[in-house]
Structure 1
């Protein structure tokens, strides 16, 4: 009888004394891209922080980006030349990847971004994770189109069999950025791989 009472007591404590369960799941995501791509600005806007005095990230920073159905703990890594070689040290524990590139960057910078994206997509700690690739600064008149970027980055052959999204982004349409992040959350929730899509 005493064993039953102990069991009931433990059950009661579990049900009544434990704090309320987290209302939203949390996912750890790494965010990479070259300096000037707009990573910090986009994340600050999503967190409703002041975007007027943004400075380039040196090292890394972490932001909890809240959505109605989940919280993304985004580890943003600086994109300067001397920092990129250390990116892989921060990949462990990631559940998803955000790669931001500048749609109006020079040919040289776009090529560097392409190489860094390929390296991330093939890294052992990231290669099975869902990817959100944001072609930023789409509001600029000279921005490359999403189709141009998709072709240049060689995404179709590279990301075959992976879960990925390529979307345009800009600070002037933060609602579209939120929608892209919500698509990433769907991929994070989904245990079955889905084909890449625009």
Structure 2
């Protein structure tokens, strides 16, 4: 009888599940990197008619163990100069780059990432760097990106993850965000991972 009571209590008297932690994250990258598309897919929104973000947008992106409140900032030249106005209160940074972009655009992305890694409001935060468009023939691998962006010397002592991504493999993108959430949860995590 005691076993039946314990089973009944376990099934019926649990109460609501504990709330998932929420983290405020800023998402930056040049226009065309795929920020809006990735975030829309993570939110299970349709990907038809997606246009680059002008200004900024905010999305609550649900994951099993956390909710990320993502401020996505447009990547056009006339908007990038205002990025730092939106950094305050951020607990982490998602940087998306087009790994198949021209050398000129890749250099611009490199400069923006270097600026973000050194910005006073971001330099101590965890970074998720997504080398997007890995499915394109001209895509550079994450290791090529790491070397070209000089991430080892620049980001030494910081908490960061560099992963390849593509819209065709959202499970891998979700795994990358899962690793990022671990960095957000654990403020004392070992620095630098790829």
Q: Same fold (TM over 0.5)?
A: yes
Correspondence list, 1:18-57, <5 A: 23-57=19-53
One of 117, 121, 126 as aligned partner of 2:113: 117
Matched, 1:160 2:156: yes
Q: Secondary structure at the match of 2:26?
A: strand
CA distance in 2, matches of 1:44, 1:22: 26
One of 145, 149, 167 as aligned partner of 1:149: 145
Contact 1:131-1:165 within 8 A present in 2 as well = yes
CA distance in 2, matches of 1:117, 1:21: 38
Q: 1:97-154: per-residue Cα shift (whole Å, max 9, x none)? A: 0000001100000000000000000000000000000000001122111111100000
**Structure 1 unmatched runs, 5+:** 1-19
Q: CA shift at 1:21, angstroms?
A: 8.2
Matched, 1:180 2:185: no
Q: CA shift at 1:191, angstroms?
A: 1.8
Q: What RMSD, in angstroms, separates the aligned Cα atoms of the two structures?
A: 1.0
Q: CA shift at 1:195, angstroms?
A: 2.2
- Max Rg structure: 1
Q: Secondary structure at the match of 1:37?
A: coil
Q: Who is 2:10 aligned against?
A: none
Q: CA shift at 1:22, angstroms?
A: 5.4
Contact 1:97-1:126 within 8 A present in 2 as well = yes
Q: Who is 1:170 aligned against?
A: 166
TM score, norm. by length of structure 2: 0.90
Q: Who is 1:71 aligned against?
A: 67
Q: Secondary structure at the match of 1:100?
A: strand
CA distance in 1, matches of 2:65, 2:163: 21
CA distance in 1, matches of 2:182, 2:97: 22
Change (3 A) 1:89 1:21: farther
TM score, norm. by length of structure 1: 0.89
Matched, 1:82 2:78: yes
Q: Who is 1:130 aligned against?
A: 126
**Structure 2 unmatched runs, 5+:** 1-15
Change (3 A) 1:22 1:77: farther
Q: CA shift at 1:193, angstroms?
A: 3.5
